[in-house]
Amino acid sequence: MKAIVYMLGFGHIAISSCWILYTRETVDLLKGWLQTYPLKFLSVIPAVFGLLFLVSASATTHPWVFRAIALLAFGEAAVAFANPQRIYSRMANWYFEKVSDQTNRLFGIIGIIFGTVILTWI
C-alpha cells in the first residue's frame, strides 16, 4: 500500500512540475484529450485515482483525508460520465479559454505542495 502512496505523491509532483514548466503544452495536451476522446471514456481517469486513494488510505497517518479525496475523485468521475446540462464541458471550456498561464502555474505550485504532503503522511 505504501508503494501506491509513493506513486501518487511522486506522480502528483511530476505532473504539477510539468504544469509549471510547460504550461501551454500541458493545457494543449488536456484540450486535445477532451477533443479527441469522449468524456465518458475520460471519466475513468478520476475513478482510477479515486480507487488508488481509497485503497492506499490505510497506509497513511491521515486515512480520512485520503478517503475524502477518493470520494471527491469518484464524484468528479460521476459528473464527467453523466455530464448533466453539459456542466463538465462548460467548465472545461471556461478553463481552456479564460484561465491565464499564471493561474495554471499557481495550480502547479499547489499540486507540488499537495504531492509533498502526500509523501509526508506515509
Between the CA of residue 95 and those of 14, 31, 63, 88, 118, what are the distances in Å? Answer: 21, 10, 31, 10, 26
**Quick one: cell of 24?**
501551454
Answer yes or no: pTM beyond 0.95.
no
Mean pLDDT across the stretch 70-86? 92
Question: Using 50, 70 and 90 to split pLDDT, how confident is the model at 92?
Answer: confident
Band of the pLDDT at 63, cuts 50, 70, 90?
very high
Q: Where in the sequence is the domain holding 66, given as residue range(s)?
A: 2-120
Number of compact structural domains in the chain: 1
Residue owning grid cell 497506509: 59
Q: Work out whether the CA dihedral 117, 118, 121, 122 comes out positive or negative.
A: negative
